[in-house]
Chain A
Amino acid sequence: MNDCRIQIDGREAEVPAGQTVLAAARQLGLDIPTLCHLEKCGPLTTCLVCLVKIDGRLVPSCGTKATPGMVVESETEEVHAARRTALELLFSDHVGDCLSPCNLLCPLHLNIPVMIRQIESGDYEEATITVRQALPLAAVLGRLCNHPCEKGCRRGANDDPAAIRELERFVADQDLAHPTPHLQLRASPSGRSVAIVGAGPTGLAAAYFLVRQGHAVELLDRHHEAGGTLRHLAESALPRAVLTAELDLLTRLGVRFKEAVVLGHTHQLAELSGRYDAVVLAIGELAEDEKEKLGVPLAPTGIKADPNTCLTGLPGVFAAGAAVKPVKHLVRAMAEGKAVAECVGLFLRGAAVRRTDKPFSSIMGRLDPGELRLFLQHGNERTRVDPCSACAAGLKRVDAEGEASRCLHCDCRSSGNCVLQHYAQTYGANADRFRSKRRPFEQQMQPGGVIFEPGKCILCGICVKLTELAREPLGLTFIGRGFDVRLGAPLNRTIADGLQKIAAEAVHHCPTGALCFDEKAAAQHVSSSP
C-alpha cells in the first residue's frame, strides 16, 4: 500500500495508507492520550480523550484514518481543553480515591499505604526506598512529625487510625540499624551548583531533594553543625545519634556543609549569587536586627518570595520556609524545602519555574457506613498498637507487621498504573469541575482474586470487546443505556463468570482501577499453584 503524508501541528508524518491519525501522531512522538484504545480491539471511540481537530471539527484520532494531505491540529489549547473536559467529565462520575487520604494529607506525599503493605509483607528494603523517596531525615520525622496523615485514615472512622508515624519510624530505624543505611539514587552530576543558606529543616530538605537531582549542593550555616532547631530538642524527643545518622546520609549523598556563614555579615548575597548557579535562603525566622542586611526585598512576614515560584525577585535567588513566613510544623518546613528544591531544579534546567502541582487524585470524601464496611474487610480486626509501649524503643517487628495489617487499602490498586490518573495529571484536570452527588462506592470481590469496582469503570469497552474476541462463554456487556450504562456480566451472573478465560488480560488492559487483582488473593493463588 502507498504511504500517506499528513501534517500534524505543522509537522509532516508519513504512514501507510489505512493507518489512523493516532498512529501517525505517535510516530511523531506526540503523546495523544487514549483510554479506550487497544490495537486488537479496533477503534472503540468511547472515551474521546484522543480528540484532534481536522477541518474545523473535533474527531477521535484513534478511529480516524489518515488521508493524503490531511491537516491535523493536536497540541493546541483548544484541543487540550476538549481533552481535559473529557477527562473531567469522566471524573465527575468516578467513584473512588486514587490516593489514600493519608497520602494526600501528608505534606511530603509519602505513599503511606504502599509503605504499610511493604511492612506487612516483611519487605523492609522496599519500604525503606518508599519512605526515603518522600521523606528527608526519615527517622527524625518518624519521631517528631505531627502526623496529619492519621487524621484522614479511613480506619479512624471505625476505631482508631493506623499508627502511621510509628510505622515510618520503624522503617527508618530498621534502616539506620543497618551497617550501611540505604542511599537513594542520585542523578548523574548536572554541573550546576546550589548554595543553601540555613541548615535547618527547610534547608536540609531542600538539600536532600536537590542533591538527588544531580546538583552540587553546599549547605551554609552560621553554626558549626547542621540541624538548626532540631539541635535544641531534648534527647528523649530526638536522640542526637539519630539526627547525626540522618545527617551522615546527606553527606554520603554528596551534600557539603560549610559552617560559620552569616549572610550580610561574613558573606554577601551578591557574592553567593555570583559563585553559585542558584541560591536558596532557608535561614529560618529572621532576626529583627539582621533583616536589613540580607540584601533581599522583604515582606511583613519575612523575605518576599513569590508563592508560586519561591523566587525572591533577584535572579536565581530563592527563599523558603520560616524565612518567608512562619511555619508551625516540622513536616511543613520540610515540605517547603522540597517545594523550593523543585523550583530550583526547573530553574537550573532552564524550564519555567512553578511549584509542582499536588499529586492528582479523584476524591470520594466521606464514606457512608455501608461503604466503610467494604473497606473494613481488607483490614485485620486487631486494635491499634499501644503508642506508649512504642514511644521509647519503637515498634517491635511483630507489632509493626500487625499494625500494618490494620490498613484498609483504601487507595486504588491501580494508582500509578492508571492511564486515567496519568493523563489527568498531565492535563491538569480538575476532578471536581462538575461536582455532583456521587454514586455509592461499590466493590465486588470475585473468586479468583479479581476485584471489580463499578464506580471506576469508564465504559471504555475494552474488556467487553476482549471477551467477545476470546469467545468467552458469557463475556461482559454494557447494561442499560445513557448515563446509567454499567459494565456487567450477562444474565445476572458475576464478573468472574464473565471472565472465565481472560481475567488476567482484562485486568491488565483495564485503563483504570475498575478491574484489579487482589494482591493477597493473587499471592495465595501463586503459592498454592504447583
Chain B
Amino acid sequence: MPDFDPKFVEQTVARIGRSPEALIPILQRLQDQFGFLPAEALEQVCALTDIRPAEVTGVSTFYDMFRHAPVGKHVVRVCVGTACHVAGTDKIADALRRHLHIPPGEDTDAEREFTIESVACLGCCTLAPVVKIDGATIGHATAERVPEIIRDFLAGQNRPATNESTEELSAVGANAGGASATIHVGLGSCCMAKGSDQLFHALRASAARSGAQVNVKRVGCVGMCHRTPMIEVARPGAANRFYADLTPAHAGALLQAHFRPRGLLGRASSLWQRALDGLLVDTEPPAEQVARAEMKVRDSGVQAFLDRQVHIATEHFGRIDPLDLDEYVAHDGFAALRHALADLKPEEIVSVVEQSGLRGRGGAGFPTGQKWRVMHGQPGPDKFVICNGDEGDPGAFMDRMILESFPFRVLEGMAIAALATGAHAGIFYIRHEYPLAVRRVRAAIATLERRGWLGDRLLGANHPFRVSIMEGAGAFICGEETALIESIEGRRGMPRLRPPFPAVSGLWQKPTLINNVETFALVPWILRHGSERFAAIGTAKSKGTKVFALAGHVVRGGLIEIPMGTTIREIVEEIGGGVRPGRRFKAVQIGGPSGGCVPARLADTPVDFESLREVGAIMGSGGLVVLDDTTCMVDVARYFLQFSEAQSCGKCTFCRVGTKRMLDLLDRLCTGQAHRSHLDELKRLAQQVGAGSLCGLGKTAPNPVLTTLRYFHDEYEAHLQGRCPAGKCTALIKYRITADCTGCTLCAQQCPVNAIPLTPYARHHIDLDICTRCDTCRKVCPYNAVEVR
C-alpha cells in the first residue's frame, strides 16, 4: 500500500467534491489508496472540505469497510453469512488465525503480511464456506485446507497476471464474427469464484487457435451454482448441451468435441493444444472428462431444478450477455419503456403497476403501486428514484445476481418508475462487497449514455433522467430506506422515524421512491405483458414470482425464481433435491436476520407474504437457507442475533442494548450457564425489543429467536440442562476417541492445537483442556473412531 500522501487527498477532494455527500466516496477512495484511513488524511479532509469534523469521525467509524489502522499486505475476508455459518466458517477463521499467526484480539500478524476480517456476507452462499483473499474468492473452504489455500494463494501471487478481465471485453464480445454456434459461459461472481472466468478465457483462446466457428459468450448467472463453472453449447439444428463442473483444462477437448477446426494449420495447432491439454490433466484424457461433465437437460436433477421456475426478473437467464445492449434490445429490452413513453400517461403506468398486485421484493412487501401513487402525487420537479441494492441479509444474493446479469433490465425498471412518478434523477445504492455488480451497472449506464438513452433525453424522449451510483460502505442497516437516505447524504446510516415516509420527504427532504433491485427488474415484464398476466401468477395477495437464493444443507443450491405460492417442500425437495443423503431435513430459515425458522413439519406452507408471516417468518429479500439435523437451532438463533446486534446502528435503546442483552442470554444458553429465569427473560425481552425498537431492524431482530422458541422449544430445554442435541455448541460438547481407534496417528498429526498426543498403534486420547472442538480429528479419522457427546 502506498504511504500517506497529502497530494492524493487533495486530488481526491478536488475530483469528488467538498460538500457533505462527498464524504463517503472520498473516504472510500482514501481507503482504497492507503488500505486504511490515516489520521492525517482525515484531518486534511476536514481542512479541505465543508464537512464537519464530527461527521468525518462519526461516518468513518460507522461503516464496516473503514479502517483506522494499517492492514497487512494481504487481506483475508472470511464470510460469516448464514450459509457459511452453518457450514462451519468459525472453525475456518480459527484455523486461519492459527496458520497466519494472528494473535487473539488483533487482526494482523506481527510481520504485517495478512490481515483477517470477517465480512457479513459475500453473497456466494452456494460455495459456503467462502474466504476471499485480496481479489480471489475461495469456495468450499475447510479448516484442514487452510495451509493449502494460503500456499496456493501465495504461489498465485508470483505468477504473472494472465487473466484479462472479462469486464474489459467489448460488450458485443463475439470473437468469431458471424459464427452461428455459441458457447454460453456463466460469469456471475459465484461462477467466477469457481473459475469460470479462467474457463472462459481458455475457451476463447482455444477457439481462436483452432479457428472454430464459435462465439464464446459471456452470460450472467446460470442459476445452478452447485454445478458451476457451467456452459451451454448452442448449435443450429442441434439440441443445446450443458456441461457442468468444468475446468480450463477441458477447453480444448470441449471445442474438439463440438467444432471442427478450420484448415490444416488450425488442425495442427489444435492437435498440439490437445497434447498439451493431455499433459495438464494427469488422470484421464480431458475428452473423457468432458463426456462425463455433460449434463443432459432431461437429467432429472436439472429438470427438477428448472421445471418449477418462472423467469421474469431473471428472464433469459444464462442466455444473454449482461452488457450487450443490442442483445438486450433484441430480447424485448426497452420495449416496456418505449411503450410507457409513447402510449401511457404517468398515472396510467402507476395504475398498471397497482393492478399487477406487485409488492416490494425487499422484504416488507409494501404494495409497489401504492408507493408510486404517493410519489406521483407529490408536487415539484425535484424527485428521486433510488434502487436499493444494499442487499445485506447474510444468505441472500439475488440482487447481486440480478445486477450482475441484468443491469439493463433494472435500469429500464427504474426509468419507468421515474417516468411514472416524475423523477429526473436516479441513484443506485449498491453494497461495496459487490464489486462486479458495481462495475457492470456502471458499464451499463455508460453504454446507455453513449447511446443517448440516458441523460437529457430518456430513450430520446423529452424526459431527462440521469443515473448515478453510490457504493455502500458496509452497514446492513443501510438497507433500511431512511438509513440509506442518510448514507447517501453523507451521514451515519441511522434510520429516521417514519412518518414522514420517503415518498413524501426523503433524500434532501424531497419526494423519493425507493424500490429494491428485484422489484424494478419485474416492472418491464409487467408493462410488456400487462398487469393481468402478472397477477395471474402467484396467490390471492402475493402476485408474480420471487427470486430466492437457495443455499445451506441442500443438494442443489442456486438461484431460483418461482411463482408465489410454491411450497417450501417443493423448493427444498424438488428444486433443491432435498438434503444430503443420510441427513434429515429439519427447517428452513427464510428472510435472514429478520425472518424466522420454519420447521420441516410446516414445509407445506406456501411461500407468500401472508403465509410466511403467519408461521412467524417473513419473505425478506429472498434468502432461503436449508437446515438439516446437524444444525443446532439455539445456535442458529444466536447466530442471527449476533448479526443483528453487530449491525444495529446504535441509535435507539431497544435495539442497541436490547439485542445485546438478548445475545448475552443466548450466550448463556449456548455455554450451559442459563437457568429457567434466563429463558423466561429472553422471551419477555424478545417481545419488548420487537415492540419497542424504532426501525425494522430492531423490530424484526427477535424473529429468529421467537420462531425457534416456538418450534424448537425442546432444544432450548436441552440447553438449559447443559446439552446441545446437535453437538454444535462447543462449550457443551466433548470429543472422545473410541475403541475403534487403530492408532493410525492421523488425528494427532492434524490436530491444530496438539491436543492429541502421538501414540502410534495405540488408542489415542484427546486432552479436553487443550481441545478447541475444531472437529478436525473427527473429519480426518478414517475409522470413525472420534465421537462427539
Contact = CB atoms under 8 A, between A and B. Distances in A.
Interface string A37-70: 0000001011111010000011110011100000
A89 B54 contact: no
A330 interface: no
Interface in B681-695: 681, 685, 688, 691-694
Task: Point out which of A48, A82, A458 has the most chain B C-beta atoms below 10 A from its C-beta.
Answer: A48
A279 to B, nearest CB: 42
State the main secondary structure of chain B at its contact with A.
helix
B53 interface: yes
A65 to B, nearest CB: 8
B694 A92 contact: no
Contacts of B39: 491-492
Contact of B53 (A46, A63, A478, A491): A491
Nearest to A87: B653
A145 B688 CA distance: 46
Contacts of B62: 478, 480-481
Contacts of B693: 48
A466 to B, nearest CB: 11
Interface stretch (A314-322, A353-361, A467-475): A467-475
Interface string B639-682: 00000011111111110111111001000000000000000010
Contacts of B497: 43, 45, 59-60, 63-64
Interface in B27-73: 39, 42-43, 46, 52-58, 61-63
A485 B652 CA distance: 11
Given A58-B692, A60-B497, A474 B58 contact: no
A514 interface: no
A58 B52 contact: no
B217 interface: no
A488 B53 CA distance: 12
Contact of A48 (B61, B646, B694): B694
B654 A86 contact: yes
A179 interface: no
Nearest to A474: B53
Contacts of A468: 52, 54
A185 interface: no
Interface residues of B, number: 42
A483 B662 CA distance: 12
B694 A60 contact: yes
B69 to A, nearest CB: 13
Contacts of A473: 53
Given A475-B53, A478-B58, A483 B650 contact: yes
B334 to A, nearest CB: 41
Contacts of A86: 653-654, 692
A445 interface: no
A122 to B, nearest CB: 43
Nearest to B68: A492
Given A92-B661, A434-B661, A477 B649 contact: no
A92 B653 contact: no
B319 interface: no
A85 B688 contact: yes
A479 interface: yes
B373 interface: no
A10 interface: no
A229 B42 CA distance: 73
Nearest to A53: B691
A481 B650 contact: yes
B42 A483 contact: no
A459 B648 CA distance: 14
A363 to B, nearest CB: 18
B510 to A, nearest CB: 19
Contacts of A289: none
Contacts of A46: 651-653
Given A482-B649, A491-B42, A491-B43, A48 B692 contact: yes
A490 interface: yes
A485 B650 contact: yes
Interface string A488-515: 1011100000100000000000000000
A389 interface: no
Contact of A482 (B53, B55, B650): B650
Nearest to A479: B61
B347 to A, nearest CB: 26
Nearest to B477: A481
B54 A474 contact: yes
Given A468-B52, A485-B650, A477 B657 contact: no
A266 interface: no
Nearest to A475: B54
B587 to A, nearest CB: 28
Contact of B492 (A57, A459, A478, A491): A478
A48 B652 contact: yes
Contacts of A48: 652-654, 692-694
A475 B52 contact: yes
B224 interface: no
A59 B492 CA distance: 22
B325 interface: no
A498 B57 CA distance: 12
A342 interface: no
B646 A482 contact: yes
Contact of A93 (B475, B648, B657): B657
Contact of B648 (A64, A85, A481): A481
Contact of B661 (A81, A89, A478): A89
A85 B61 contact: no
Contacts of B58: 477-479, 490
B657 A478 contact: no
Contacts of A433: 681
Given A48-B692, A477-B58, A485-B656, A436 B661 contact: yes
A470 to B, nearest CB: 12
A491 B46 contact: yes
B351 to A, nearest CB: 28
10 smallest beta-carbon distances between A and B, as pairs:
A490-B57, A485-B650, A477-B54, A490-B53, A477-B58, A89-B657, A475-B54, A482-B648, A63-B497, A483-B660
24 contacts: A45-B651, A47-B652, A57-B691, A58-B691, A63-B497, A82-B692, A85-B685, A89-B658, A433-B681, A434-B657, A434-B664, A434-B685, A459-B651, A459-B656, A477-B55, A477-B58, A478-B62, A480-B650, A481-B61, A481-B62, A483-B656, A485-B650, A490-B56, A498-B54
Given A86-B692, A434-B685, A492-B39, 12 more contacts: A45-B497, A48-B654, A86-B653, A89-B661, A434-B661, A478-B492, A481-B648, A484-B650, A485-B650, A488-B57, A490-B53, A490-B58
